[in-house]
Each structure stands twice: as structure tokens, then as C-alpha cells.
Chains A and B, each alone.
Chain A
Amino acid sequence: MQGDEDERLDRAFLALADPVRRGIVARLSRGPATVNELAEPHAISLQAVSRHIQVLEQAGLVTRTRDAQRRPVHLAPEALERLTAWIDRYRLVHERRFRSLDGLLAEDPTQEDPR
């Protein structure tokens, strides 16, 4: 049980470890979208976007409806809800914090005020 849960969380986090996939999830949090719509903001091929969507699907984070014409992609809110356990929030907080730190470390050291 615990192992399954861990594995599922790991899959979800792996899926969310990629900035393009996080972009897709963020976009879907505002409503369903087609592959074309999801690809638009990213400078990568439709094929690449489809692959990203597949990874998100396998992680249970998104679903695709069988609407033959459009096949819009939907966020699976219950899967993301499960990611809000405290440890996951904790992880997200640190993820964000360390990304801010990355940004700071990437700056030219000569730009920083001497102490």
C-alpha cells in the first residue's frame, strides 16, 4: 500500500519535474485544451508536446476525452489533490525556493553588492 502510494507519487513528481509538463498542467488548471492549444506557447514540435501529454497521462495527472474531433486534454484534479499531502507541499515549497536560489546563483557575482 505504502509502496504503491510512493510509486504513484514518484511518477507524478517525475512527470512534474519537466518545465514543459508543468506548463501544460498549469494551462490545464484553467480548463481543458487541445494538443494544438497546449503546444502553442512552447517552441517544440507537436510530437514532442504529445509525448509530454503521454507522460502526464501515464502519471494519472491528465485524461483525454474521446471527443473524436478535438480530443481535449483535461486535468485530473483528484490526482493533483493527492499531491497536496503535507510532504508534497513541502517538496513543492523547496522546489520553488531552490529555483529562486538557482536564479540568484546564476547572476554575475560581480553584480552583487560587496559585503
Chain B
Amino acid sequence: MTNPVHVDAPAGVPFIDITREFDAPVSRVFAAHADPALVARWMGPDGLSTDISEWDFVSGGRWAFAQTEPSGETYGFRGTFHTVRPDELAIQTFEFLGFPDVVSVETLRFVDLGDGRTRLEVHAVYPSLEARDGMVASGMEHGLTQGYAKLDDLVAD
């Protein structure tokens, strides 16, 4: 039994909205975003090593990480944490260095649903529609094996 992820890329506006619930209290979901040791354990695609060089999860902090394919190819990502309020909110910029100078602004809301459950709401704003579609596509290319193997990954419990 898993919680579904809702991803919406509405037509005509350069936004992406992601909503996902977790069977864990808001403090733990927030901690999983705040602590780089924990982030490294879930952020990266399977089979890629994620190397977090900076992760200062406070207002005005910086973050940077790189993912390396088994082939040795490396992809870098970086940004800043503009506003961070514990167990509530994080506003950050996001740049995929394979698509330089295209920076999105991501607002993450950590919503306490009570009963030890949490809803994560992510709203990402891109500089243009083309940037949204192109950057996400190129950012998603790597780390995903072609064909149906990706569905195999989803089967892992």
C-alpha cells in the first residue's frame, strides 16, 4: 500500500505541481529534507551515486549535489534555500547544470495532516514553458534506464 504521487503540469503556464502524502509526522518528513545524510538516501535515482557537496537547509543557505552514472557521466545540480521554516516551508531555487541559466523556483509546503501524517506540496515555477518542458525532460533523461526497466524499479518494495 503506497500513497500516490500527483504531478500536474498545467497547459499554458510554466508551473509544475507535485503532491504526495506520507505516513509519517511532519517533523520526520521535514528532517528527511533537512539532513543531507538522509537526503542522499532517497533523492537520487537507483544505481547512481549522489554526492552532496553543500546542503545548508536554512534561509539563505546553499545546496549542490552531483550524480554520477555507472558510465562515469556526472550531472550537477545547485541552488539556494531562500526561505526555510522548520516543519512548514522551504522555498528554493533549482538549476540543472546540464541546462545552465535556467533556474526554477520551488516552494515546498510541509502540511501536518494530524494522526502522524504529512502532505508535501511542491509548486515549481520555470522561466518559460519551453524551459519547463525542456529542462524537466533533459533532467529526467539521465538515471532512468531506457525501456521498461524503470518499471522494474517501481516494483521494488
Interface residues of A (CB under 8 A from B): 2, 16-17, 19, 22-23, 25-26, 29, 75, 80, 86-87, 89-106, 109, 112-113, 115
Number of B residues with CB within 8 Å of any CB on chain A: 42
A17 nearest CB neighbor, chain B only: B4
**Which residues of B line the A interface, CB within 8 A?**
2-5, 7, 9, 11, 16, 18, 20, 22-24, 28-29, 32, 35, 37-38, 41-43, 45-46, 133, 136-137, 140-141, 143-144, 147-157
Contact A105 B140 (CB under 8 A): no
Contact partner of B22 (CB less than 8 A), chosen from A91, A97, A105, A109, is A105
Q: Is the CB of B18 within 8 A of A96?
A: no
> B42 to A104, Cβ gap below 8 A?
yes
Q: Choose one: A25, A86, A99; the contact of B140 (CB below 8 Å).
A: A86
Are B24's CB and A105's CB within 8 A? yes
Instruction: State in angstroms the CA–CA spacing of A23 and B151 once bound together.
Output: 8
Complex alpha-carbon distance, A100 and B40, angstroms: 10
Q: What is the distance, in angstroms, from A40's C-beta to the closest C-beta of chain B?
A: 15
Cβ-closest chain A residue relative to B156: A99
B148 touches A104 (CB 8 A): no
Which residues of chain A come closer than 8 Å to B156, judged between CB atoms? 99
CB contacts (< 8 Å) of B5 on chain A: these are 91, 94-95, 98
Contact B43 A97 (CB under 8 A): yes
The CA-CA distance from A109 to B154 in the complex, in Å, is 25
Are B148 and A105 interface neighbours, CB within 8 A?
Answer: no
Q: Which residues of B contact A101 (CB under 8 A)?
A: 22, 29, 32, 42
